[in-house]
Amino acid sequence: MPEWTNDAFFYHIYPLGLCGAPARNDFYSPQTACLEQLYPWLDHMQELGINALYLGPVFESSAHGYDTADYYRVDRRLGSNQTLKELSREMHQKGLRLVLDGVFNHVGRDFWAFKDVQAKGQASEYCGWFSNLDFGRRSPNGDSFSYEGWAGHYDLVKLNLHNPAVVDHLLGAVAFWMDEFQIDGLRLDAADVLDHDFIRKLAAFCRESNKDFWLMGEVVQGDYQRWANPEMLDSVTNYECYKGLWSSHANKNYFEIAYSLNRLFGKEGVYRHLRLFNFADNHDVNRVASNLNNPAELYPLYCLLFTMPGIPSIYYGSEWGIEGKRTNRSDTMLRPALDLAKAPSGSLQPALAPAISRFARLRQESEALKWGDYRQLFVGSQQFAFSRRTANESFIVAVNSADKPAVVELDLRLAGIEGREVVDLLNDQEVFPIKAGKVCLDPVWPGWARVLRVR
C-alpha cells in the first residue's frame, strides 16, 4: 500500500455529470474543454480537507463513460488530452493526488476494434479481442455475430483478457496515462468480474513503473481478500459498510454497522490489515440523503465515515446533502450537473460541509483515527461508541442519531485503555474524567458526536 494513502481523503467526481456533458457522444463535434470547470472545485476540495481526487470516467466513450471507444483519447465532451494534462499539473502543484477509472472488463460498441469486426466479420484481425464471439448467431443489436455483454448489457462488449494483444493494448494505455497525465492510481471498474491473472499483470506492471501507484477495485460483494492482496490490489470498495452506514441510521439500528465494523476490523477482524475504500454514496447508488428519514442523521453518519478504519471518500455534492435516487432505467439523478458558485447557497444542509471539514481535520491530525486498531465499546439502537488506538494515542468516538440527548457510559477497559480523562476535540475541548476505568459522556448531543482523546 503506497504511503500517501495513509493520509488520503478522496473526493469523487463523475465528470460527464458534473460538467453537464451531452448524454451521447456524436464523435464528430469539436472538443469542449469542460474539465476546465473543475479548477474552482480544487480549492473547494482543499477547504474540505481533501487531498486526492477520484475522477472518472474520462476517456472517449459512447454515452456514460464506461462504454469506452478509445483508451488513448480524452472524451471530446470533456476536452482533449491536453485539457486533462493541464488539470493534473494544477492538481499536483496543489498537492492533490489524481486517480482515474480503469474500465478494462468491457468496451462500448463504438470501440474501434469492435467496429472493425462489425465491418469485416470473420476476416477482422480483432475477432479474438472479444469474449464468446460467435458468427453462427446474431446479437440482440442485429450484428451478424453474437458476443458476451457485461451482465447482459449488449452496449458493453466484454473483452477477452486472455488475449495477449488485448492485455498489451490495455497496459499500453495505462503506461500512457501514467506518463501523459501523471496519475497516482486507478480505480478498476467491475473488478469483481475481472480476470485475476489480468489484475496480477496490471498490478506488477504498475508497481514496477511506480512503487507509489495505488490500485483500488470496485467489488460489490465477496471476500475482499480475493482482490486486495500483495499480488493484486491495494484496496477495494467497502460495500458492506456502505450499506451499514445508511441503513443503521434509517432503521434506528446501530447494531448493523457495529456488526460489520467488528467483523471487518475488530480484534479478530478479517480485514484489519486492509485499508478499504469507504463511502456513503457514489455514482451507482442513491445519494445518502435520499436513504435517510431524518437529514440530521447525516452528521453522525459522516462522523463515522471519517473515524472508522479505512480511506474516506465524499461524492461530489453530497457534502451539501443533495438528494437523488436511481430508477430502473436511469442513473441520471445520481450524476447531476453542479455549479460550484450556486450549489452551497442552495444547500439543504448548509452546516454539513463545515462539519465534514471538521471531521476530516480531526482525522488528519490523528494517527489513531487514520490507522489505529478498532474496538467496540458500546452499541445501542441509536447510540454507538468505539475506540481507535495506536501505541502513541487513543481516541474514543461516540455518536447519537436520536432526536434527544443521550447519556453514554463506557468501560474503557474493554479496549485496554488507561488514562485520567478524555478531552472532546470536536466540541470545545470538553473534558470528562475517567473513574475506575469508566467514563460517562453526559450528554452526547442529538444528531451529533463526540471525538475524544484519552490523556
pLDDT of residue 47 exceeding 90, the answer is yes
Q: 248-256 contacts: CB < 8 A, separation 24 or more?
A: 249/292, 249/297, 249/300, 249/301, 249/401, 250/291, 250/292, 250/293, 250/297, 252/381, 252/382, 252/401, 253/381, 254/379, 254/380, 254/381, 254/382, 254/383, 254/384, 254/399, 254/401, 255/379, 255/381
pLDDT of residue 4 exceeding 90, the answer is yes
- Its domain, for residue 421, covers 369-454
- We report the CATH number of the domain holding residue 439 as 2.60.40.1180
Mean residue pLDDT of the chain comes to 97
The Cα 292–Cα 249 span in angstroms is: 7
Q: 313, 338, 367: which is the final residue of a domain?
A: 367
- We report the CATH number of the domain holding residue 320 as 3.20.20.80
Q: 327, 348, 367: which is the final residue of a domain?
A: 367
Residues 59 and 161 grouped into a single domain: yes
Average pLDDT, integer, range 195-202:
98
pLDDT tier for residue 346 given thresholds of 50, 70 and 90: confident
Residues 357 and 420 grouped into a single domain: no
Residues 273 and 146 grouped into a single domain: yes
Q: Which grid coordinates are listed for 74?
A: 480524452
Q: 367, 392, 423: which is the final residue of a domain?
A: 367
Provide, rounded to the nearest whole percent, the portion of the chain with pLDDT above 90: 97
pTM of the model: 0.97
Give bridge partners of residue 130 from the DSSP assignment.
Answer: 159
Q: Which grid coordinates are listed for 127?
A: 475477432
Residues 382 and 337 grouped into a single domain: no
Average pLDDT, integer, range 316-323:
97
Strand arrangement, sheet containing 106-108: 106-108, 153-158, 149-150
Residues 284 and 386 grouped into a single domain: no
Cβ–Cβ under 8 Å, residues 352 and 297: no
pLDDT tier for residue 128 given thresholds of 50, 70 and 90: very high
Of 264 and 1, the structure prediction assigns the larger pLDDT to 264
Identify the pLDDT of residue 348. Answer: 86
Chain-centre distance for alpha carbon 103: 15
Vertex 360, ends 338 and 206: CA angle to 5°? 80
Identify the pLDDT of residue 329. Answer: 85
Average pLDDT, integer, range 413-441:
97
Using alpha carbons, select from 278, 451, 422 the residue that is nearest to residue 355: 451
Identify the pLDDT of residue 328. Answer: 87
Residues 211 and 355 grouped into a single domain: yes
Identify the pLDDT of residue 98. Answer: 98
Q: Quick one: CA dihedral 251, 252, 258, 261, positive or negative?
A: positive
Tell me how crowded residue 144 is: count the other CB atoms within 10 A of its CB: 12
Average pLDDT, integer, range 324-337:
93
Residues 77 and 189 grouped into a single domain: yes
Q: How many structural domains is the chain composed of?
A: 2
pLDDT tier for residue 35 given thresholds of 50, 70 and 90: very high
Residues 321 and 374 grouped into a single domain: no
Using alpha carbons, select from 9, 42, 48, 95 the residue that is nearest to residue 358: 48
Residues 243 and 352 grouped into a single domain: yes
Cβ–Cβ under 8 Å, residues 373 and 402: no
Q: How many residues in total does the chain contain?
A: 455
Tell me how crowded residue 248 is: count the other CB atoms within 10 A of its CB: 27
Residues 329 and 271 grouped into a single domain: yes
Q: What is the pLDDT of residues 382-407, one digit of tens each?
A: 999 999 999 999 999 999 999 999 99
pLDDT tier for residue 61 given thresholds of 50, 70 and 90: very high
Q: Which residues make Cβ contacts (< 8 Å) with residue 81, sequence separation at least 6?
A: 73, 74, 180, 181
Vertex 425, ends 421 and 431: CA angle to 5°? 30
Residues 361 and 397 grouped into a single domain: no
Residues 268 and 181 grouped into a single domain: yes
